Amino acid sequence: MAKSIRITLVAFVCSLLLSIVWLAWFFYFGVDAEKVQFSSNAWKQGAHVYQHSNDPGCIRGGMALDIVEAGILHGKLIEEVKLLLGEPNLVEQTVIGYELGQCSGFGWHNSVLEIEFSSEKRVNNMKIARHQP
């Protein structure tokens, strides 16, 4: 009898720990959006995510998921990316970023689509990351 109680207790503790780990992962790395088919026009219309509110919701997150999962931009030149997505909100030496709205941390944190370029100025990596506007 004591052995079955111990097994039940261990299973409960493991389930609780796994739930906490999953919640922490989703809070920091998850994207709170449903995938939506990418449309260049719709993307550009949502360009000024924080223009009307500091709490806009996840404006372009669904399309960003489609871009990343389908690899829509992979191998494209920076000029081709700008034609599809418009001017970026963030520009660094090998990375550009586009604001998405609040798509991370259960919709509480600002998110950005980060697009990384190779030395040949072609897209080699894309990800959705938390960001401070």
For residues 38 and 96, membership in a common domain is answered with: yes
Is residue 110 within 8 Å of residue 89, measured between CB atoms? Answer: no
For residues 20 and 64, membership in a common domain is answered with: no
C-alpha atoms less than 13 angstroms from C-alpha of 26 in its C-beta half-sphere: 10
Range of the domain at 7: 1-30
Q: Name the domain count of the chain.
A: 2
Per residue of the chain (133 residues), give pLDDT as tens: 677 888 777 777 777 777 666 555 555 556 667 888 999 999 998 888 777 666 677 889 899 999 999 999 999 999 999 999 999 999 999 999 999 988 876 556 788 999 999 999 999 999 998 776 5
For residues 80 and 48, membership in a common domain is answered with: yes
- CB count within 10 Å of CB 47 equals 16
pTM of the model as a whole: 0.74
For residues 24 and 35, membership in a common domain is answered with: no
Alpha helices by DSSP H, listed for 1-133, are 2-29, 40-45, 61-70, 78-85
